[in-house]
Amino acid sequence: MSLILRILLSALAVVILSKILPHVSVDTYFTAIIVAIVLSLLNFIVKPILILLTLPVTIVTFGLFLLIINAIIILLADNLIGGFNVDGIWWALLFSLLLSFLQSLLFSLLKEKDKA
């Protein structure tokens, strides 16, 4: 049940950010759920491979290249999903940062609710 709730909260974060950011769009709420699922799968499968391949660059940049890897994951999801659109790497970078922040807020609310 927790996995489904986390996916739905991630989809909510995607919808909120698509309303706030002008160059990020999601067609429907169902598309936002698909985006949340695809992003979680890409983060689970593709991101570790990208981190290993770019390890020297990540070390030289003191880990800041991980932000670019997150933006690449967002752009990859943009290419895979029809109703999800991000206009460029800078908007993907901003979307990635804000998505991580919003997810941490929403997931912390979920954990507080579980404790009560």
Give the integer Cα–Cα distance in Å for 25 and 114: 32
Give the integer Cα–Cα distance in Å for 42 and 47: 6
List pLDDT tens digits, range 37-93: 999 999 999 999 999 999 999 999 999 999 999 999 999 999 999 999 999 999 999
The range of the structural domain enclosing residue 14 comes to: 2-115
Count of structural domains within the chain: 1
Give residue 2's pLDDT band: very low, low, confident or very high (50, 70, 90): confident
Tell me what percent of the residues of the chain surpass a pLDDT of 70: 96
Residues in the chain: 116
Q: Is the pLDDT of residue 115 over 80?
A: no
Q: Is the pLDDT of residue 1 over 90?
A: no
